Structure 1
Amino acid sequence: MKKVKVRLRPIVSKINLPTVIKTTMFPGDSIERLFIATQVGEIFYIGNGDIRTFLDIRPRILKLGIADGGYDERGLLGLAFHPQFYYNGLFYLHYSAAGTQGPGALPKSEDANQHHEALPEFFKPNPCDPETLNLKWINRETQYDHIDTVEEWILQPNGKPQKRRTLLNIRRPFFNHNGVNSLNFSPETGKLVLTTGDGGSGYDPFNLSQDDLEIAGKIIEIDVSMNANINNPSIVTRFNEIPAPIQETLTVIAKGVRNIPGITFQRFYNQYIKYAGNVGQHLVESIFSFVQYKPIPVTQLIQAPFMNFKPDNEGFINFGWRGWEGAFPTPIMSSCTNNPNLDEKTIAYYNEAVALSGNRLRPLTSYFHQDTRPDKFAGTALTGVQPYMGNRIPALTGSVVFTDFARKEPQSPIRGALAYTRVRPDGTQNDYSVIEIDYDFESQSAYYTSLGTNMNQTSLYLGVYDSMNVTNFNQGTVFEIVP
């Protein structure tokens, strides 16, 4: 693949950690405005060269960064504008709600006060202890971490946003893997798409992502044109707990998701290529693509166990987690010997690795957490996937660009990574190429936290933060990626 070099043009700096970057047009306006959502709950837009506040929901956001040295994966995670926002003023938010902090859902075998790593991997299954492979999430009403909410808002004629209704209230078992840039509208169906992570901890301890009735680990379509007339729906973890009028608005596109930085759509003649990334556990980060899919109505998923039939899975997308990490069966490694003189390891795999070996989507491309090749990089976590259809950077036209939070190579200060790949005509896996960046961050760290685009995907925007901790405020910059 061609080597590509770009520059970064700063647009706004000294903001909090940017999680979503999008553009839209205000009602009555004639140009697109760049919108930036921060993890702590602010939404800004760029107007006439200066930054203005569109909405501030910080009081609605859970207190972030209390533990783990300020690192957190909760907060304002999703922002999407209705395709008819110019006419109806509707937009949608996904965030971790204030006042919902719970004790967490760590398995009994885990010490809740154990030392937390900077990037949390709390639970690790033990292949020598079968009980750790089949844990259940019990006492969900009390043993959970927080509640995420998805809401519909409207921009009133006086220019002030106002909440209209709540679409979903989802109870989450752990503080991580809630998804990010988690809301988008499908240009094919006109529905709101919600991407959810597997609920957190590590290795999906309760296997929520493969359970058809669990909301966690799924890509969900919401028909917002159907008003369920339920303003404050009950707090749920499973689809069958959702009130029936809301169930009828939901379909499931995919399952087997670990953690996901959103879904994006690239027009290809009269259809769309869908791109979605899956953050890896210890081995690999993966970008998936698909064109054809057949969503399953939530009502069908709920009825299946009682009607003694299996839902029609033809065309249903399965990313394979927890049995598969990208293109590889998820390895569970452990030392099962008491003899310190033996360097003996046991490598085991989940049963799902076999069950899903022929019934899962293969990734378009992957990159590893360890990679010493000169033209590659060792990654930490995928943070953005966006198609680029512009012509200002010809080498990238028609490609899909992605970002990683921080390279793992020995370096100080830390830098994120920017790369690209392309869909092959035969749909087989492709390689990727690093995009070189001509910008001097000087002595500051540069974690790449988000990647955005404008409405016709001809411009790319990169969100960068000087710290991995959300409690280190006002250290963010949003750049435009330019030739």
Structure 2
Amino acid sequence: MKKVKVSLRPVVTKINLPTVLKSTILPGDSIERLFIATQVGEIFYIGNGSIRTFLDIRPRIIKLGTSEQGVSGAGYDERGLLGLAFHPKFYNNGLFYLHYSVAGTQGPGALSEHFKPDPCDPGTLNLRWINRETQYDHIDTVEEWILQSNGQPQKRRTLLNLRRPFFNHNGVNSLNFSPETVKLVLTTGDGGAGYDPFNLSQDNMEIAGKIIEIDVAKNTIITNPPVVTRFNELPAPIQETLTVIAKGVRNIPGISYQRFYNQYIKYVGNVGQDLAESIFSFVQYKPIPVTQLVQASLRNTELNQEGLINLGWRGWEGAFPTSIIRGCSENPALDEKTIAFYDETVITSVRRLQPLTSYFHNDPRPDKFGGTALTGVQAYMGDGIPDLTGSVVFTDLARRESQNQVRGVLAYTRVRTDGNLNDFSVIETDYNFGSQSAYYVSLGTNLDQTRLYLSVHGSMKVTDFNQGTVFEIVP
């Protein structure tokens, strides 16, 4: 693949950790604006060269950086303001949507100790999430808001209230509208810890680990739905608004749509466990109405899952069977990789979607890199950077080979006409971050996908304030 070099042009500096980048045209405006949502709960937009506040929901956000599960006080967190999406008719109807972790909902977590599967101990392979009303980490909410005629945003209704088992794997850039169905798409992770302890991602009744479409045009007349973890716990009017596109999700930095003649290629990334980060693409799919899922569960009948996308987790980590890595006592330079969930790997081997590309936490090839976590996937349709036109660009949080200062990675790949696994290429950048760490935390585009934006943060901690920068990626 071609070597590509780009420049990074700062758009805004010294903001809090920027998790979501979106573009839209404000009602009564004539110019497309870049909107930036921070993990702590602020939403800004760029107007006439200055940064303006659109909405501040910091009081509504859970206290960040103080999770119970082994990172107490460490400042690292995967909760907060995670999703922002503007309705396709936002200019006329003022509707937009938020996904965030709710203040005051901190719980003890679903497990009291660190989880690691042991193929020799069936107890670790068949754990169940019990006492969910008390054994959980926090509650996430998905809400519909409206920009009123006086310019003030106001909450209209709550679409979902989701109880989450752990502090991590809640998704990021988790709300996007499908240009095909004009439905709101929620991309949510498996609920957290590592290795998906309760195998929520493959369970058809679990909301965790799925890609879900929400028909926001249907009014459920339920303004504050119950807090749930499973589809069958939802009131029937809400069930009727939901369809499931995909399961087998570990954690996911959103979904991107790329127009190709009269159809769309969908790109989704799955954050890896120990071996690989993966990007998947698909065109054809057949979403399953949640009402059908619930009926099949009630009757204990086999569900026709033809056309349902399955990313393979927890049996598969991208193109690999999910493994546990142990050091080799005879040779410290090597690792032993043991298949963690052999039976599940076999069961999902045929049903799963093969990745478009994977990149690895350890890669011996000189022109590659060791990844940490996939943080953004976006189609690029512009001609400003001709070598990237029609490609899918992605970001990794931090290159493992970073010596003194941490550096994130920008890279790209393309869909192959034969549908086979493709390679990827690192995109070189010329920006000098100096002595500052540079974690690449999110990726965004403008409305027609002709411009790319990159969020960078100077720390892994959400509690380290004013260390965020948003760049435009330019030739």
Give the equivalent residue in structure 1 for 2:226: 234
Match of 2:33 in 1: 33
Matched, 1:84 2:89: yes
Q: Per-residue deviation at 1:151?
A: 0.1
**Equivalent in the alignment of 1:113:** none
Aligned-partner Cα distance in 1 for 2:419–2:179: 22
1:347 to 319, 338, 353: 338
Paired amino acid for 2:338: I
1:348-367 alpha-carbon deviations (Å, 9 max, x no partner): 33111000111110000000
Report SS of the residue matched to 1:70: coil
CA distance in 1 between partners of 2:236 and 2:298 (Å): 16
Aligned-residue offset at 1:131: 0.6
Spell out, residue by residue over 1:385-423, the C-alpha distance to the aligned partner (whole angstroms, 9 max, x if none): 000000000000000000000011141110000000000
Equivalent in the alignment of 2:79: 74
Measure how far apart 1:124 and its partner are: 1.2
> Is 1:280 the counterpart of 2:280 in the alignment?
no
The TM-score, its normalising length taken from structure 1, stands at 0.95
Map of 1:381 onto structure 2: 373
Q: CA deviation at 1:164?
A: 0.1
CA distance in 2, matches of 1:248, 1:140: 24
Residue from 182, 207, 210 that aligns with 1:190: 182
Amino acid at match of 2:49: G
Output the aligned Cα RMSD: 1.7
Aligned positions of 1:291-330 closer than 5 A:
291-330=283-322
Q: What's the offset of the Cα at 1:217?
A: 0.1
Q: Check the 8 A contact 1:218/1:257 in 2, yes or no.
A: yes
- Mapping 1:64-463, distance limit 5 Å: 64-67=64-67, 68=71, 69-106=74-111, 110=113, 122-333=114-325, 347-350=338-341, 351-463=343-455
Give how far 1:312 is off: 1.8
Shift of 1:130: 1.6
1:12 paired with 2:12, answer yes
Contact 2:274 2:323 in 1 (8 A): no
| Matched residue, 1:50 | 50
Deviations 1:123-178 (A, max 9, x none): 21122222111100000000000000000000000000000000000000000000
| Distance in 1 of aligned mates of 2:6 and 2:100 | 33
Gaps in structure 2 of 5+ consecutive residues: none
Contact 1:5 1:437 in 2 (8 A): yes
Cα pair distance change 1:323/1:48, threshold 3 Å = same
Q: Secondary structure at the match of 1:409?
A: coil
1:443-468, Cα deviation, whole Å (9 max, x unpaired): 10000000000000000000000000
SS at match of 2:98: strand
What residue identity is the alignment partner of 2:186? Answer: L
- Report the alpha carbon displacement of residue 340 of structure 1 after superposing the two structures with TM: 13
* Structure 1 spans left out of the alignment, 5+ residues: 111-121
Q: Is the 8 A contact 2:323 2:337 kept in 1?
A: no
Amino acid at match of 1:390: G
TM-score (normalizing by structure 2): 0.96
> Which one-letter code corresponds to 2:414 in the other structure?
R
Aligned equivalents of 2:354, 2:364: Cα separation in 1: 24
**Secondary structure of 1:153's aligned partner:** strand
1:473–1:56 Cα change, 3 Å: same
Amino acid of the structure 2 residue aligned with 1:386: Q
Letter in 2 for 1:95: Y
Residues 204 and 293 in structure 2, CA contact (< 8 A), matched pair in contact too: yes
In structure 1, C-alpha distance between the alignment counterparts of 2:274 and 2:360, rounded to whole Å: 9
Higher mean C-alpha displacement, 304-313 vs 23-32: 304-313
Deviations 1:16-63 (A, max 9, x none): 000000100011111100000000000000001000000000000000
Please report how far the alpha carbon of residue 344 of structure 1 lies from its aligned counterpart in structure 2 after TM superposition. 10
The aligned amino acid for 1:421 is: T
Q: Which amino acid aligns with 1:299?
A: T
Query: What residue identity is the alignment partner of 2:340?
Result: Y
Q: CA deviation at 1:311?
A: 2.0
Task: Give the aligned length.
Answer: 468
Q: Report the CA distance between 1:372 and its aligned residue.
A: 3.0
Matched AA of 1:440: N
Q: Give the equivalent residue in structure 2 for 1:63.
A: 63
Distance 1:348 1:23 in 2: 43
Q: CA deviation at 1:307?
A: 2.5
Task: Determine what percentage of the aligned residue pairs are the same residue.
Answer: 78
Aligned partner of residue 306 in structure 1, secondary structure: helix
| Cα distance in 1 between the residues matched to 2:170 and 2:404 | 29
What is the DSSP-based 3-state SS (H/G/I as helix, E as strand, rest coil) of the residue aligned with 1:429? coil
SS of residue matched to 1:33: strand
CA contact (8 A) 1:126 1:334 kept: no
Instruction: Please tell me whether the aligned partners of residues 274 and 325 of structure 2 are also in contact (alpha carbons under 8 angstroms).
Output: no
Note if contact 1:323-1:352 (Cα within 8 Å) is conserved in structure 2: yes
Q: Deviations over 1:287-315 (max 9, x none)?
A: 00000000000000001022242222111
- Counterpart of 1:332 in structure 2: which amino acid? I
Deviation at 1:425, TM superposition (A): 1.1
Matched position secondary structure for 2:298? helix
SS for the counterpart of 1:434 is strand
Aligned to 2:3: 3
Q: Using the alignment, how far apart are the partners of 1:410 and 1:169 within structure 2? A: 39
CA distance, structure 2, for counterparts of residue 335 and residue 131 of structure 1: 23
